[in-house]
Amino acid sequence: MARRIPADRFDRLVRGATEVLIERGYRRTQMADVAEAIGVAKGTLYGYVDSKDALLALCLEFADASDPIPLPAELPVRSPLAGEIGQRVKEVISQDAQMPHLAAALANARVPDAQAEAAGVVGELFDLMYARRHGIKLLDRCMDHPELRDLWQTQGREDVRAGLARYLEHRIASGDFRTFEDTRLAARFVVESCATWAVHIHWDRAPERYAEAQARSNAIEFVVRGLLS
């Protein structure tokens, strides 16, 4: 009789591997590290995925899944073909780059309440980062993978900063924001402020107790007040 696979093992495998990859990065992570983290033999792990790249692809796909991760119909999960990991990440980044508040702000030459608009834009960015915090942290730590390094630095990071820089220039021109010597640098400050409290704080090595809702509101208020003229 074939052994029955525990119902939650695949879910634990992917989530455990995600945390190991976040802690160690792609190159330093060994399959033995993942097997040890989830409490199975290394050989058992290869019964689910046939390579570290197959495991990474799964982690990237399900990094922020709220529902239990389903067991695939066929095991082990095959290694992705060359370019598949990068292509999938590119698709996810493109989907996430859709920021309706930012798009609406860029479409309006004038706005009756610049502070409320800015809070909407910054809040939208914060919420997007929070919802994708595991995936963002995973990409950040796995830039040593050859398909991810340049992709994450350009489309994953620079595109967001460029969009925010256009917004800052837009509202500087309308007289609602203060003038900055370098709007791209100011846009990066906005991104990094949100990233600290929406993403990186969850892996703080010396964590302090705090209310997430309060952290969100404080981050938004801090950034927006710094933008207003």
Q: For the chain, give every domain's residue range.
A: 9-80, 85-227
Q: CA-to-CA distance for 166 and 162, rounded, in angstroms?
A: 6
| 198, amino acid identity | A
CATH class of 85-227: mainly alpha
**Per-residue pLDDT at 108:** 94
- With residues binned 3-state (H G I as helix, E B as strand, rest as coil), the percentages for the chain, rounded to 5, are 65, 0, 35
- Both structure tokens of 186: 């100011």
Is the per-residue pLDDT at 71 higher than 70? yes
**Per-residue pLDDT at 4:** 63
**Per-residue pLDDT at 2:** 45
CATH class of 9-80: mainly alpha
**Per-residue pLDDT at 1:** 35
If residue 189 lies in a helix (H) or strand (E), which one and from where to where?
Answer: helix 183-198
Quote the longest CA-to-CA distance of the chain: 74
Over residues 98-130, the pLDDT tens digits come to: 799 999 999 999 999 999 999 999 999 999 999
Determine phi and psi for 77, rounding to 5 degrees.
Answer: -65, 130
pTM over 0.85: yes
**Per-residue pLDDT at 3:** 55
Over residues 6-63, the pLDDT tens digits come to: 778 899 999 999 999 999 999 999 999 999 999 999 999 999 999 999 999 999 999 9
Over residues 138-178, the pLDDT tens digits come to: 999 999 999 998 888 788 888 889 999 999 999 999 999 99
Same fold, 9-80 and 85-227: yes
